[in-house]
Every structure is written in C-alpha cells, then in structure tokens.
Amino acid sequence: MTVIDVHTHMYPPAYMSLLRSRKNIPYVCSFPDDPSAGDRLVILPAEDTASTSRGRPIGPEYFDVNEKLTFMRNHGIDVSVISLANPWLDWLPSSEAAKVARTVNDDVERMCMEHEGKLYAFGTLPLSAPVEQVTAEIRRLAGLKHHRGIVMGTSGLGSGLDDPALDPIYAAIEENEQLIFLHPHYGLPTSVYGQRASDYGHVLPLALGFPLETTIAVTRMLLSGVWDRHPKLQVLLAHSGGTLPFLAGRIESCIAHDAHLKKEGKLHNRRDVWDVLKNNIYLDAVIYGDVGLKAAVEASGADRLMFGTDHPFFPPLGEGEDEWLSVQLNTQAVHSAFGDDQKAADAIMGSNAKRVLRLPD
C-alpha cells in the first residue's frame, strides 16, 4: 500500500524570508531578551499582542524539508502533497503579489525536484493581483512537473468564494484541470465563543471555527451557482468538509423551502448539494474519528476521500515523542471505518490520491 498525504503544510524558505522581514501581520518574530520564547508566527490580529506569548511557536518542522521527510519516514508516508499554510499570499499588495507567487511556487517546485517522487505540491495564487496575473499563474502552475492544483482560503479575492469576480479564475482553474484545495483561516468572530473562551486554549476556534468557516464558504458557493456555471470545477475540502457532510441534508432542505430563492427564480434548474458533493467535491480524511469519516464517505463516496495529516500542526505535547497522535487517530479512523475492506482503506490511504492527482507509480 502506498500512503499519500494530501493535507500537509510547509512554509518554504522564500516565504519564511518574507515573513522574517516584516513587522506587521503576518510575520515571524523573535525575542532577543528571552531566547527561550523562540521564533513565533503571528498570522491573526488576535495573536498580535505585546507579550512573548504572541503568535505560536514556529520551529524547523514548519520550513525545513528534511524535517518533513523525517516525519514521513517515521509515520510510513510515501508521498506528501505539500501546500503553503495560511495565510498564503492574500495579504500582499496588488503590485507585488504575482512576483512573490512565482518566487514561492518555484521554491516549492525546487524542493519537489530535489526529492523526486516524495514530494508534490498545491501552488499558491496571487489573489490580490489583477485577474489576468492570477490566471497567468494558474496556467504556469499547470505546466510545472510537480504541482497538482492550488491552495485557496475562504476569503477568495476578499469577498468570499461566492464573489462573481472569481468567475474568470474558476474558469481558468477548470480549463487547466487544476484541483482547488480549500482551507480555512479566518475562523468565526471571537465573540461567538463567549467571554471565557480564552480559558480553553485554541480548542473552540480550531475544533469549531475552522469547520464552520469551510461549511459556510462552500454553502455560499452552492447558493451563488458556482458549480452551475463551472460544472467541472473540482474542490478538495480540508478537514473532511467541515460540517458539510453532516449538514448537507439540512442545507438542501432549507434551499428548497426558501421563498426568497423561489421568488428570484434560483430554485429552477439548479444542481443540488448531493450532486455537487458526489461529482465536484473531494474530502480529506483529517477528521480524527471513524464516525465523522463514515459521514464523509456517505456524503461524497469512498472514492473521493484522501488521507491527510495536517502536519506540522497538532504536534505531540510530550517531550521526546516521535509519534504524532493526530496522524495515529486519522489512520485508525480509516481502518476502523472499513473493517475488513482493505481495498477501500487502501484507496483512502493512497490510491485515490494517486488517481485524482495523476501521481506516477
């Protein structure tokens, strides 16, 4: 069995250099007066405080390709399809975005070439640039040997994934047969978690905010008819689609019963949620339990799920631990969900990704 990890992140050297040169979000900071604090990554406004607890620790596992390869060896992963982690390049000035995107994507392609057969990638788009520059990078990425799609956040060009201004970008992605790996970043307003949210670490925004952000973004795409206009657009959703597999029936019922949508003529000739889930959406298997994984399988089909780890996030908390609980839980969920059906488990662990991403033997 070949194990392929489709949800695994890296900040390549070119991107790290950019982050280290900055003083505003996003940036990497260090504390000369307190070396024990280490380097810290600051990517959200709430993390940008004046204390050494600012941001999150960022060690070599985030940017050193040898750390990625060691992690793969330790966990029996044969191939990783790496993607830049949030916040990608969304924050760049329009005049700089295209040039930076080329530099970062070429840096990732170089790493893949240096470790032939072990690494492939989802490229990063200069979404703040003029649309013709964005579509040019889509076409360029399609010609790179090791790139297999693009990673995108839920903000799109800044107004969400239902923004009509994204149509030429979706069309270029569709035409060049590129897969979108859709990943959350912005979360939900902190007020929804209540006044005591800080007592619970990062649990509420990560466990609930990220999945709901994804679900809301994809539902907006459905409501705006993105897949009606772009019927061949293929999207891989992070974290098993958030809560979309569980809520798909409720979403479909609410659409079908909405008087406003009926009055606007938007209920006629539309593709329903189930059609899109089974023909345009792939789900990763980053769900940490067989109950959620079974829901994902029921929603999209076992042939549309692919294994992931979310490395280097969710590392072991114990000193000296080599095995990542997050990887163990995702692997166990796959095998528990399918029992004796080894062929189905093998498909999710690797052969689906090999087929969908056109990876060589």
At 51 the pLDDT is 58
Q: Is position 24 within any domain? A: no
Reported as a single tens digit per residue, the pLDDT across 10-66 is 999 999 999 999 999 999 988 777 777 788 899 888 777 655 567 888 999 999 999
In-domain check, residue 62: no
- Say what the pLDDT of residue 44 is: 82
Residue 248 sits in a domain of what CATH number?
3.20.20.140
Q: Are 230 and 276 in contact (CB under 8 A)?
A: no
What pLDDT shows up at residue 127? Answer: 97
- Does 223 reside within a domain? yes
Which tens digit of pLDDT belongs to each residue from 125-141? 999 999 999 999 999 99
Residues of the chain scoring pLDDT < 50: none
> Is 213 in contact with 186 (CB distance < 8 Å)?
yes
The two tokens of residue 291 are 């109950």
Assigned domain for 350 exists: yes
Distance CA 285, CA 160 (A): 25
Please give the tally of structural domains in the chain.
1
pLDDT of residue 34: 72
For 8, phi then psi, to 5°, come to: -150, 130
Is 46 within a domain?
no
Look at residue 60 and tell me if it is in a domain: no
